[in-house]
Amino acid sequence: MKTRAVILAGGEGSRLGTLTAKRTKPAVPFAGKYRIIDFTLSNCVNSGIFDVMILAQYRPHSLIEHIGAGGPWDLNRDFTGGVRIYSPYKARGASDWYLGTADAVQQNFRFIKNSSPDLVLILSGDHIYEMNYAEMVNYHLRNQAVLTMATINVTMDEAQRFGIVGVDGDNRVNSFVEKPAQPPSTLANMGVYLFNTDVLSQALLEDHEKQNSSHDFGKDILPGLVNSGARVFAYPFDGYWMDVGTADSYWLAHMDQLKDTPPFDLNDRSWIIHTRTEERPPVWIARGASVENSMICDGCEIAPQAQVIRSILSPGVLVKAGAVIKESIILSETVIEAGAVIERAILDKKVNVGENARIGGGIQDEVLSLTMVGKNSLVPAGYVIEPGAVISTDVTAEDYPASIIRGDAYILTRRSAHEV
C-alpha cells in the first residue's frame, strides 16, 4: 500500500506571540537546534514514508529555507517520493487563500493524487511527538477502516481545547465533537488522520460544495464521516505529545526536555530527529562560568562568572561576564551583555540585551508569567522588563516609553515596515 503524507504547515500561530511574527508556527525553533516541523518530518522518514507534501501559507519563507530540497531528512528524491512545498495560488474559479484545513487539502488534491497513493496521511506540522506511522497504517488495514485518527487521553481541564472522540469496545469511533464546552470524555483527537484516498477525495468534494461549511477537518470532515456510519477507528497513542500552540506550552515543552528523565530521548539513534544545521565552532565555557541542567548548542560562548541554569541556548548565543540566565529559552545569535539577568523569558533570534538589564522573573511563583522579546530587538542597558511584558520585533531604544516596562505592556517598534 502506497502512502503519501500531507503536512499542514500554514498556521499563523498567533498565540505564540512574537515567535510567529516573522515565521509560520512549524518553522519556530525548538530545543536549541530543531524546528517544530522536524518532529513530524522525522516521524515520516523513520516510519518509512518518503513521499511528503507540505502545505504552507502564512509567512512561509523561513520554512521553505529550512526544508530546502529535503536533504537532511533523505527527502531529496525525484522518482521515489521526496518533499515538495505548496503555497496558495490564484486559479480561475478557485480561492487563493485556504479557508480551512480541509480546503487546503482540497485545493491541492490534484497534486496529492498525482503519485496514485492508496492512503493519504494528514499531519499537523506543529506538534512535538515521536510516532511510528507504519504501525498506524497496519492498524488501519487490519480494521478495514476508511479513516483512522490518532487519539490520546488528556485531562478534563484540557479536553475543551480538542476534538473529543467517542469509541466502542473495538475502538470504532461512534461520536466526534470539536472543542466541546462540556467534554463527554477525555479521548482527544491528535490531528493525525489516515484516509483511504478515494474516501478522502469524495469527502473533500462534498464538503467543497457545501455553502455553510467551514472546510475544516475537525468541524466538518470527521463528524460527517462518523455520522454517516463509515468505518472510522481511533488509534490509541500513549506516548508524549505536546501541542505547542501557546507561549506557555512552548516553554513547558522545553522544560520537559530538561527533566532528569525527559519524555523522549533526542539522543536515541533508533529514532533520529533530523534537521538542517549550520557549521559553527564548539561551545566555549570560560573558567568560572556555571552551566546547570541546560542545553547549549554549537557556537555559544559563556564568559567568566556567567550563569546558565535550566535553560536552552540556540546556536551562536553570547553570554557575557556575570550575566545570569534562568529557566529561559534564548534563540540564535542573541547577545546577553555583562551583568544582565534573564528569568523565565523567551528571547527570539538576534536580540541584544544591554549591560545590567533585567528581563522577566517570577521563578518562585506558581503562576507562570513569561516575558517575551521579539526578533532583532534591543533591550537597553539598565532597563527592566517585568514578568509578563512583551517586546515585539525590531524594537529599538527609541521605542521604549520608560526604562521600566510593566508586566502588562506590549512594546511595538515605531518604524515602518520598509525601515526594518
For residue 378, count other CB atoms closer than 10 A to its CB: 22
Asked if residue 70 and residue 214 are part of one domain, the reply reads yes
Q: What residue numbers bound the domain in which 362 lies?
A: 284-419
Residue 337 in any domain: the answer is: yes
Residue 274 in any domain: the answer is: no
Q: What is the pLDDT of residue 78?
A: 81
Number of folded domains in the chain? 2
pLDDT in single tens digits along all 420 residues of the chain: 899 999 999 888 888 999 999 999 999 999 999 999 999 999 999 999 999 999 998 999 999 999 999 999 999 998 778 999 998 876 655 556 788 899 999 999 999 998 899 999 999 999 999 999 999 999 999 999 999 999 999 999 899 989 999 999 999 999 999 999 999 999 999 999 999 999 999 999 999 999 899 999 999 999 999 999 999 999 999 999 998 989 999 999 999 999 999 998 899 999 999 999 989 999 999 999 999 999 999 999 999 999 999 999 999 999 999 999 999 999 999 999 999 999 999 999 999 999 999 999 988 888 899 999 999 999 999 999 999 999 999 999 999 999 999 999 999 998 877 677
Residue 278 in any domain: the answer is: no
Asked if residue 341 and residue 236 are part of one domain, the reply reads no
Residue 271 in any domain: the answer is: no
Asked if residue 243 and residue 391 are part of one domain, the reply reads no
Q: What single-letter DSSP state applies at residue 282?
A: P
Asked if residue 311 and residue 189 are part of one domain, the reply reads no
> Which grid cell is 310?
535550566
Can you give the CATH number for the domain in which 20 is found? Answer: 3.90.550.10
Q: What is the pLDDT of residue 97?
A: 77
* Cα distance between residue 325 and residue 283, in whole Å: 16
Can you give the CATH number for the domain in which 323 is found? Answer: 2.160.10.10
Residue 110 in any domain: the answer is: yes
pTM of the model: 0.95
Q: Which residue has the cell 511595538?
A: 412
Contact 179, 162 (CB under 8 A): yes
Q: What is the pLDDT of residue 342?
A: 98
Asked if residue 116 and residue 178 are part of one domain, the reply reads yes
H/E stretch holding 254: helix 247-257
Asked if residue 69 and residue 20 are part of one domain, the reply reads yes
Asked if residue 174 and residue 92 are part of one domain, the reply reads yes
In DSSP terms, 414 is beta-bridged to none
> Which grid cell is 47?
516510519
Asked if residue 230 and residue 307 are part of one domain, the reply reads no
The region that residue 56 occupies, defined by phi over 0 for left and psi between -120 and 50 for alpha, beta otherwise, is beta
- DSSP calls for 66-117: HHTTSGGGT---STT-EEEEE----BTTB-SS--SHHHHHHHTHHHHGGG--
Asked if residue 309 and residue 238 are part of one domain, the reply reads no
Residue 361 in any domain: the answer is: yes
Contact 107, 93 (CB under 8 A): no
Distances (CA, A) of 80 to 2, 198, 242, 414: 11, 22, 31, 50
For residue 259, count other CB atoms closer than 10 A to its CB: 10
Asked if residue 400 and residue 321 are part of one domain, the reply reads yes
Q: What single-letter DSSP state applies at residue 220?
A: I
Residue 263 in any domain: the answer is: no
Asked if residue 372 and residue 235 are part of one domain, the reply reads no
Asked if residue 306 and residue 229 are part of one domain, the reply reads no
Residue 398 in any domain: the answer is: yes
Distances (CA, A) of 227 to 55, 143, 208, 220: 28, 18, 18, 11
